[in-house]
Amino acid sequence: MPEQKQLHLTAFMRPVSLHTGAWRYPGSYPDANFNLSHLKSFIQKLEAAKFDAFFMADHLAVLNMPVEALKRSHTVTSFEPFTLLSALSVVTEKIGLAATASTTYDEPYHIARRFASLDHLSNGRAAWNIVTTGNPESAKNFGLDEHVQHSDRYKRAREFYDVVTGLWDSFADDAFLRDQESGVYFDPGKMHVLDHRGEELKVRGPLNIARPVQGWPVIVQAGQSEPGRQLAGETAEAVFCSPRDLDAARALYADIKGRAVAVGRERDHLRILPAALVVIGDSVEEARAKRLELDRLVHYDSAIASLSVALGTDAAGFEPDAPLPVDIPETNASKTSRESVLRLAEAENLTVRQLALRYGGYSGLAFVGTPDTVADEMSVWLREEAADGFTVVFPFLPQGLDDVVQRLVPVLQERGVFRKEYQGSTLREHLGLPRPGNRFFS
Amino acid sequence: MPEQKQLHLTAFMRPVSLHTGAWRYPGSYPDANFNLSHLKSFIQKLEAAKFDAFFMADHLAVLNMPVEALKRSHTVTSFEPFTLLSALSVVTEKIGLAATASTTYDEPYHIARRFASLDHLSNGRAAWNIVTTGNPESAKNFGLDEHVQHSDRYKRAREFYDVVTGLWDSFADDAFLRDQESGVYFDPGKMHVLDHRGEELKVRGPLNIARPVQGWPVIVQAGQSEPGRQLAGETAEAVFCSPRDLDAARALYADIKGRAVAVGRERDHLRILPAALVVIGDSVEEARAKRLELDRLVHYDSAIASLSVALGTDAAGFEPDAPLPVDIPETNASKTSRESVLRLAEAENLTVRQLALRYGGYSGLAFVGTPDTVADEMSVWLREEAADGFTVVFPFLPQGLDDVVQRLVPVLQERGVFRKEYQGSTLREHLGLPRPGNRFFS
């Protein structure tokens, strides 16, 4: 019998829930994004459940939204990723620590150095989620009036990756002798000066820190645009993505793995981990009811705006507690998105209000059911080559996280699709990724 | 009787010793700069001794030195300040955490955010050592061929300070309501958009993190040049400096405090903390012998180069084990520095070799003696208004640090010039500094 394929699970933890109503759910911690003791308890529970990693998205601005929506957002204040993950590295031993860092609004020397430092502090648990920063508000915090063009951002990102990985290779793994007798601290023949002079970047090096424990921290990538997929195929070792259903996920999976193989990489050296909201109940009905209760905590004014965007038509005049009108016009705005709203309305028999609250809360991929039905769905995605695992989005915390680690994970473990113990100690080992060689020293 | 003036003590911890022979001293940890468990034990001992702060200098490059000196340097690999201090914040409760960050090679939004995050993680213990980065090698790691001019660096630094402190004031202290019932997370009337448009910087804001616990992290400054002193007078709350003796320190103290008063600040709202190597022995002779033993661990080739610089003349041809020649010519290079070499040679009756090793090791201010003689000297500096305390440089670790915390500190405490317990919980409280008001919200 062939060995059972294994799921990888990372936890989406900035914000701790992407659902905009999460902080209002009964029993939740309203300050969960910004309270170190809560975050410590979350990561320790995730480590006890043997999750691969704790994942911090990031924004370099207060997001631009209407003040009525902004004032209701639980994400406005949060810790900066490197300071938080470094603090959490001290209270954990095995779980990976993934930080988002921008190639558009930061410098490769800083990025290389901070990830190397986090990797050393955590004994090989760091991952870099490469983003080019899509939010135009960020540009204004970094001296620009306009956002950097998409194609220019990706061109810089590709070169930035070469520079950062080159800086990580500044020293051979065995460069540091620390010989008290002779007084030689390191072998200068094992130090490489990068002296990069490219189209976008000029960086001399060497980096002022020893080579990371993992050689290079794990490379994560999230873009789904054409240049984003190509960057992922060429460089990413884990991909965070948001396909809307199984078919879309299979296509994305095949596309990105294909791009990796086309540039000579191993198919298994890239893990595809779609984001999925997971809501667990005693029955499917109870889980759905929990989700509807959560959706009800979204403010209607901002919710109806989100539904209007998804439909491509102004929904503010629709009767809130009736079904969607049957004659909604097709527009150029977003055909795929409109169709998925109509499908959802029919499948779950939702009113305009319920649909609006869904789109204003979290409208991405969701697994809502019992531990067994969710484990079934996850296994299908794994078997069908739609995913190598998931980036789990919690609906509310702590309860939604507790449900996953106490109820879903044991079922996955019993079925033999998720580890009962960590086999290695680095994040690369958890993900089954090789340690990269040093390009300057063999 | 007037209240006894109190010393403030911070520990210079990057590198853990500035003395280039420190890592070779018998019993020392050769990897002390880059071993988290050692650094944890150091900071916990410093906290038990009630030190004000743990101070991380920084470099944004591997320093440019001849390879024979470089390969002997224990500072080439070290943790990055924010990642290390965040990790150490979790294993301590009271001691301040001071990080160096450059205004020349970083962005104010990043700097403001990281210090705010560290201040929240540590419950109000962060300090920002503002540097303009004097090392020309750093420029080459950040896209430039030449270093930014001194005056341009200070102009940018002054504006950078205004932007960072303005970003820290983005939210009123009571902006976050987190009212689960009404769904209002924060009061948008208590959020300020900075929209800074200056000569050097353009930054919109607001910062995406709540106002720091201390209002603003403590501002530290180290420059001793004319613009450095002026920046300190206008902005610094603690000054790290390197006067060579009591007279020079008194002049510097009066000058910087005078500049602060001239711009309307309180004289006591700025603490002047000269760096001082502290070597403790059972007798003055034994302490001096320890220092000579430490100096002997410096490599002669790099040592004689340092002495040549200090003398302003090539010392490589001098007889190593004889006194300095009497006919050393005066040059334009550095009259003050040459005279201090001659004074030192006479005072301690040192040979060329011993002088060279002193200059190659650590040639700044040093207190070398018994706990009582060192406490006497420190008390004189405090009384004579040459210092409000010291930035203690350890000769070697752990022993040199243990000598200070176990032998010197108890003597200072018995004399009533140093705290026996922390009175407050934030670094501002340790240093007797006020919490700044928010410039946009009263």
Residue B125 in contact with partner chain A when CB distance is under 8 A: no
Which chain B residue shows the shortest CA-CA distance from A167?
B141
pLDDT of A10-48, one tens digit each? 999 999 999 999 999 999 999 999 999 999 999 999 999
pLDDT of A167-224, one tens digit each? 999 999 999 999 999 999 999 999 999 999 999 999 999 999 999 999 999 999 987 8
Give CA torsion, residues A83, A85, A87, A93, to 10 deg.
Answer: -160
How far apart CA A112 and CA A12 sit, in angstroms, is 23
Residue A439 in contact with partner chain B when CB distance is under 8 A: no
From B36, B114, B143, residue closest to A83, measured CB to CB: B114
* pLDDT of residue B134 exceeding 80: no
Check A83 against B82: CB less than 8 A apart. yes
Residue A35 in contact with partner chain B when CB distance is under 8 A: no
pLDDT value at residue A4: 86
Residue with tokens 């510097």: B252
- In this prediction, what percent of chain B has a pLDDT beyond 70? 99
* pLDDT of residue B331 exceeding 80: no
Question: Which residues from chain B sit within 8 angstroms of residue A67, using beta carbons?
Answer: 188
How many angstroms away from the CA of B218 is the closest CA of chain A? 18
How far apart CA A210 and CA A170 sit, in angstroms, is 8
| B163-172 mean pLDDT | 98
How far apart CA A52 and CA A41 sit, in angstroms, is 16
Residue B100 in contact with partner chain A when CB distance is under 8 A: no
Residue A188 in contact with partner chain B when CB distance is under 8 A: yes
What's the burial of B340, exposed, middle or buried (CB within 10 Å: 0-12/13-18/19+)? Answer: middle
* pLDDT of residue B66 exceeding 90: no
Mutation pick from B73, B77, B118, B211 vs chain A, by most beta carbons of A within 10 Å, is B77
* pLDDT of residue A340 exceeding 70: yes
| A253-262 mean pLDDT | 97
From A24, A73, A186, residue closest to B76, measured CB to CB: A186
| Paired tokens of B408 | 């010197």
- In this prediction, what percent of chain A has a pLDDT beyond 90? 84
B58 compared with A65, residue with greater pLDDT: B58
Question: Which residues from chain B sit within 8 angstroms of residue A185, using beta carbons?
Answer: 23, 30, 71-74, 76
β-pair partners for B393? B277
Domains of chain B, each with CATH number or no CATH: 8-280+370-431 (3.20.20.30), 282-363 (no CATH)
How far apart CA B249 and CA B259 sit, in angstroms, is 15
List, in order, residues 6 or more apart from B20 with CB less than 8 Å away: B72, B73, B74, B298, B302, B360, B361, B362
pLDDT of A419-433, one tens digit each? 999 999 999 999 999
Tell whether omega for the bond before B15 is within 30 degrees of 0, i.e. cis: yes
Which residue type sits at A224? Answer: Q
Interface list for B 204-243 with A (CB within 8 A): 204-210
Longest Cα–Cα distance of chain B, Å, equals: 85
pLDDT value at residue A1: 53
Q: Residue A87 — pLDDT band, cuts 50, 70, 90? A: very high
User: What is the Cα Rg of chain A in Å?
Assistant: 23
- In this prediction, what percent of chain A has a pLDDT beyond 70? 99
| B131-144 mean pLDDT | 88
Mean pLDDT score of chain A: 94
* pLDDT of residue A409 exceeding 90: yes
Question: Which residues from chain B sit within 8 angstroms of residue A106, using beta carbons?
Answer: 107, 110
Check A210 against B24: CB less than 8 A apart. no
Closest CA to A223 of A151, A167, A287, A137: A151
Angstrom CA distances, B229 to A106, B233, B238, B267, B380, stand at 30, 6, 12, 15, 24
Q: Residue B74 — pLDDT band, cuts 50, 70, 90? A: very high
Q: Residue B2 — pLDDT band, cuts 50, 70, 90? A: low
